[in-house]
Amino acid sequence: MADKIYTINDWWGGPLCGVADYNKTKFIYQRRFDEEMDMYTNDYFLTPVTEEDFEKIMADWNYWISLCKQGKTAEYSRTDSNNVNKIAEIQPLYHCCVLKGEFFINEHFNSQLENSYVEWSESEYNIPETYEAMMGRLYDCYYEDFNWMILSSDNEYYINQLNKEVNSGHDLYGMKLIPEAKSEMNDDVIFSAYENNEKIYYLIHFTYSNYTTAEYPVYKKLGNLEQLEEYLISTIQM
């Protein structure tokens, strides 16, 4: 099936990154580089993009096209705010899947990419399991019964709450904990920390009280990614 290409934001022997449709949904695509072969493959990591970020990408794309038409490409600069790769990294389901992509580009290239399209097919490459991919898989599997919301790693609200409640004497005091997910059913928040180069997950039940002791907030060490998945599945009520 032919899917629409919205942008091609980088090129090296073919599109490296940009935005295209897959199953009527907009995705940022990023071409996979094989370190052992020292070359780009025809596999593309796909990341669903929010409508707000898609509009930013399209505005930047149209600006780039206008500079090209005026011969002023030297005036263009790439920053984190208009870098498609950087925008992909902050999406909740970053690199949720990988597909083989065959791009058909109209030789009379224009900003609308008319008569250009991509055909996606199954890839033989298996993405090493990541937290984001696991969460996306559980959401796709259980949908409305999956009551966990992914949090941004720089979510200051939950970091500040953690610092308020975890005081000297608490088992977690002094640990560098990163917020990962929030239960939509209660005040449980999942954090992560690195232990011996492995990412370990903790469940913390916030009290939202000004009075805390070494026993509170109550927490549970869930373990590695596989153990986290087992716990999340156990919380699903169907």
pLDDT value at position 209?
Answer: 84
* The pLDDT of residue 228 is above 90: yes
Rg of the chain over Cα atoms, rounded to whole angstroms, equals: 21
Close Cβ partners of 179 (under 8 Å, ≥ 6 residues apart): 151, 152, 153, 155, 158, 159, 162, 189, 190, 191
Q: What is the pTM of this model?
A: 0.59
- Range scoring the smallest mean pLDDT among 38-42, 69-73, 76-80, 208-212: 208-212
Cα–Cα nearest to 11, from 38, 36, 29, 25? 29
Q: What is the pLDDT of residues 93-127, one digit of tens each?
A: 888 899 999 999 987 666 678 889 999 999 999 88
pLDDT value at position 129?
Answer: 76
pLDDT value at position 141?
Answer: 87
214 or 15: whose pLDDT is higher?
15
SS (H, E, C) the chain: CEEEEEEEEEECCCEEEEEEEECCEEEEEEEEEECCCCEEEEEEEEEECCHHHHHHHHHHHHHHHHHHHHCCHHHCCCCCCCCHHHHHHCCCCCCCEEEEEEEECCCCCCCCCCCCEEEEEECCCCCCCCHHHHHHHHHHHHHHHCCEEECCCCCHHHHHHHHHHCCCCCCCCCCCCEEEEEECCCCEEEEEEEECCEEEEEEEECCCCCCCCCCCCEEEEEECHHHHHHHHHHCCCC
* The pLDDT of residue 29 is above 80: yes
- Percentage, residues of the chain above pLDDT 90: 72
Q: What is the pLDDT of residues 119-149, one digit of tens each?
A: 999 999 988 778 888 898 898 889 889 999 9
Structural domain boundaries in the chain: 2-127, 142-234
